[in-house]
A and B are shown apart, each in its own frame.
Chain A
Amino acid sequence: MTKSRLKKIALALLIAIPLIIYFLFSYRPISGTVVDAETGKPVEGAIVLVEWTRTTGIGLTTTKSYKVAEVVTDKDGKFTLPGVLNPFVNAPYLTIYKKGYVAWNNKSIFPGNGIRVDFKWSSGYVFKLEQFKNTDSYEDHYYFISSAAHTESATKEKHLFIKAYDESEREKAIRERDLKESRSSQK
């Protein structure tokens, strides 16, 4: 192999490998379906929030919101999320909320905050929303959603999502906590 040929191959690899890595570690747009876990029927009007963050630094690091998108499911429970063409972002936080249901999060499961392991960033996933039960705590659920949703640097882009759970859960969570506090002060 001549030296010039070697140079050409090396140059091609120099260009190709970063590109392959770049696309391999990036997040492509995906589509999915949100259904009622009990009935299997599509859930229309669920808000799907996704957020990527980016951590920078070595030794001392900082993390910032990189990209936020929120979409609403159609009458068939279907939605499409945009992707991110950047291999240096952290894995996304994906949260789905619809009034009357337990919020779905790709990292953890409510109640109990167990770790979710069954989700991979790919199209075709069916997101099953459990109905909110009488035994579930509104306060814990509110914290679960707000923890999943809140990177305060990007709240404006999460307007639909925050408005939806604020309107339907905030008051109930506050009242539940007040009741708990008043019971504990009576003890």
Chain B
Amino acid sequence: MKIIKLLILFIFIILFYCFSLVEAYDDRITHPEISRKAVINSSLNSYLKSNLGLKDGINAKVPSNGEADILALLRKGSTDEDDPKCRASNHFHNPTLPWGLSYMTDDTDTVIGTIFVRNYCNNRGWDFEHRKSAVTWATGYLNPAPDGAKETYALDPEHHPIDWDTARDNYYKALTYPTKQDQEFYFAETFSAVGHVMHILQDMAVPAHTRNDMTSHLPDTHKGWSQPYENYVKRYPSLIVNSNPQPTDFPNFSNTRVTDFWDTTAGNSNLLTGNSVGLAEFSNANYLSDYTIPTNPHLNSNHAFSSPKITTDKYQICEKTILNAKGEQIRQKYVGRKNMMGSGCDAFAVVTAFNSSSYTATTTTLNANISRLNLALDASIHVTYAKELIPRAIGYSAGLLDYFFRGKIRLIPDSSNSNPYLNSYVIRNKSTEDMSGTFEIYYDAIDGKRKQVGLGVFPLDISADSDSSPVIFVEPFDAQELGKYILVFRGTMGNENGAVVGWIPHNALEITAPDRCLYSIIDGSVIPQQFRKIKAKVRNATADEPLQAGTLRAVAQYKKRTDYQPDLSTDPPSADSREPGFSSSKSVEIDLTADDIAALNNSTPKEFTFDFSADPIPSGITDLYLQVIFEGTTSNNTDTIIAVGRKDLSEPMHHAFMNWTDRFYLDGVPRTAVEINNNPAFYARASASGRPIDPYPLRTEISFCPVAGHAPTVIYDAMPAGSFGRLIIIVGADPTEFPLTVHRVSVTPPDEKTTNFTSPNIVNQDVNGVFNPAAVYTIRGVKNHGGSAYENYYPYSTGVLEAPWPNMLDLNPIAVTEINP
């Protein structure tokens, strides 16, 4: 018979597992969905856009090339908090007890709990002796923040909470770590950690978690299968999806402490009904869990709660029609709250069949004995509780999220500073709480690393909505975007010690090429060769924050060459023939008119000419970047803000345009007019071409745009034969080549030709530390990066460049006329 017993036991175990687990609705639904609703109902989206430079807000991908956005990371964190499962033994908080004793203790009330929870978790390092209350597990506090003692944890990551402190540490790292990879990693970890903390708070909206009732999570034979209330919510996710929290579902604390979201320590009574109490206090005082119904008998004091008191002054019996297990309609008696009755029956607790017949006789009798009835929770009650507690779980989670991301700080130019050489700013605390701690200023350098500015650490106390006294720090020479600083605070903000606040300005300007396709052009005949103006189209790329008033200026950053010669005689450069650090030239500031502002905010960019004549850009440079800086106000923000755009430009490129009519390319040999005119055979062949033989000047018009018929940018009015012009130009670094059109005209002799061609773009920037020198060509004694020559030939032009042309008659470039400079 032993084998029969074994068989029965085996089948029972299999069936038990099949039914209890197959029917278990997984944790993908409740917590991530509550978290999603919390995010939607919080201010996080606008906070991220306004304070952390994330224009896509909660849908910003972190990392930027990853699969998950911020919303998904918060959802993920709130899912992962139950993994491994014994973490959840720290998700209970009984607010009627001191926090050092308010954790889950009822796991040994049943044999199943003892085996599958206490012993199971003890054996996996989650010792009962180290169990924590949810408020401690989430915040570290053993007493209310900010002065309460904090728990210390052994350096055991597996059994360590992912709590408020973890989130703040990650946030600080995300703001300050040098590499973008690390910053994005810790940003992701920040949101994931906040998701973990939200999960622990959301559990406080489940009465079983605040009434020390883990027992109700166990497979249970008197109410159906496991976890009745939580399982019901998982089974009907529309209870969450369609939940619409009202203002009263959001916490409303004064001088908020992080622990208040769980427990304000206001005591325990039926009066804990407002939204200025902790979520644990609220659900503990006002709702029931399966094994903690005050009118029912209890095994021991673990489940003995005095609230909510079922008394005739607040509760009454009501009836409603429900479906029984067979699908038949039956009338069921409930205990309802008088103030929630409305027109129907408020299903707060069901009157069970365990009550004696005298109790079930009439509603009057039941009402008279209401404080002694045997009660239970059924599906109707789960709906009642879910409709009241889920909005509050959402509201409190949203409140917690807003509490984490509440600090608002700004670094704004010091308007009282009259010294242009002093890098003076003030730090503004835009928050509603005082801040006392360390403010650090960082910038993103050209090498991609985030660095702290020189002398950029300021211990300060700044009152709410106030400015600091001026702070002066070293302006970095290698910033990716000049004037764009990342401000980080760590310290006490209101009632929070160790708060972390960041500000990453995001206002961005978009820079594109001007109508003539060239950012700048100079005539290489003028020494020193310097760019005195840059044309560029600029647009406000931050669509949700229109610019209002301010100034615009440009800064060119570059590395000076140490061996540059105007005729390129020392070219090509090498990595060592540059200064290691960046130099810069600053334009004159443009006071923007109302029309300028309107144009900047328009989707079509406006062209500006930045005047560098007071601080010209030399032509002997590499690694050229153009920055455009708006300083002023936006319509959403009365503070002075700085919006920056940055464009990688090409190196100054030398193009030579030559008139080769000083020779006639006859049968593969360049010959002078004298040679041809004196040799009848030469003359006969050259004449057969119909081309002029004698030298003549050429009007040479040049444009740099791909559009046919584009107006010329420069004109050599009459380029003499045997001479050349040297144009030094700057285009954007993006294209690998760019088009040119050269139109040459002569009246006497009559001649005209238009040549379209492309030129390789010269960008000598370091590529992964390797310098990429540009090719330099020597044509008739003129060194250049590209250009165009015009010659007459017969019968073919093949081999013209290899032919023995002499140096140009004049090796000094001639002057050019710039159209619409």
Contacts and interface: CB of A to CB of B under 8 A. Distances in A.
Q: Do A and B come from one complex?
A: yes
Interface string B114-126: 0011000100000
5 contacts: A21-B15, A58-B20, A58-B112, A62-B82, A115-B236
A107 interface: yes
B544 A17 contact: no
Contacts of B3: 7, 10-11, 14
A39 interface: no
Given A21-B18, A88-B21, A174-B57, A114 B107 contact: no
Contacts of A155: 67-68
A135 interface: no
Interface in B164-215: 214
A87 B226 contact: no
Interface residues of B, number: 60
A56 B85 contact: yes
B7 A13 contact: yes
A59 B112 contact: yes
B33 A87 contact: no
B491 interface: no
Interface in B26-45: 26-28, 32-33, 36, 45
Nearest to B60: A174
Nearest to A21: B14
Contacts of A88: 17-18, 21-22
Interface string B86-121: 101100000000000000000100001100110001
Interface stretch (A30-38, A42-50, A70-78, A145-153): A145-153
B237 interface: yes
A5 B4 CA distance: 12
Nearest to A163: B67
A68 to B, nearest CB: 13
A1 interface: no
A67 interface: no
Given A62-B27, A152-B76, A10 B116 contact: no
B513 interface: no
Contacts of A153: 76
A53 B107 CA distance: 26
B46 interface: yes
A57 B14 contact: no
B437 interface: no
Nearest to B116: A58
A159 to B, nearest CB: 8
A11 B4 CA distance: 9
Contacts of B14: 17-18, 21
B638 interface: no
A86 to B, nearest CB: 10
B28 A63 contact: yes
A34 B20 CA distance: 33
A63 B11 contact: no
3 closest Cβ pairs, A-B complex: A63-B26, A152-B76, A58-B116
B699 interface: no
A72 B547 CA distance: 46
Nearest to A22: B14
Contacts of B214: 59-60
Nearest to B10: A14
Interface of B: 3-4, 6-7, 10-11, 14-15, 17-18, 20-22, 24-28, 32-33, 36, 45-46, 56-57, 59, 67-68, 71-73, 75-76, 79, 82-86, 88-89, 107, 112-113, 116-117, 121, 214, 217-219, 226-227, 236-238, 241-242, 543-544
Given A146-B72, A178-B544, A62 B85 contact: yes
B237 A60 contact: no
Contact of B56 (A57, A107, A152, A174): A174
Interface string A1-33: 000001100110110011001000100000000
A67 B290 CA distance: 34
A177 to B, nearest CB: 7
Contacts of B117: 58-60
A162 B26 CA distance: 21
B22 A90 contact: yes
A25 B242 CA distance: 32
Contacts of B11: 17-18
A182 interface: yes
Nearest to B242: A113
A64 interface: yes
Nearest to B73: A152
Given A14-B10, A63-B27, A56 B21 contact: yes
Contacts of A182: 544
A55 B21 contact: yes
A150 B116 contact: no
A180 B214 CA distance: 42
Interface string A160-187: 0010000000100110011001100000
A143 interface: yes
A61 interface: yes
A80 interface: no
A3 B68 CA distance: 63
A156 B84 CA distance: 22
A74 B679 CA distance: 79
B82 A63 contact: yes
Given A13-B7, A151-B28, A181-B45, A58 B75 contact: no
B28 A53 contact: yes
Given A62-B82, A152-B75, A152-B76, A25 B107 contact: no
Nearest to B46: A181
A131 interface: no
- Residue in B10, B28, B88 with the greatest tally of chain A CB atoms within 10 Å: B28
Contacts of B121: 60
A108 B218 contact: no
Contacts of A147: 32-33, 36
Contacts of B28: 53, 63, 93, 151
B84 A25 contact: no
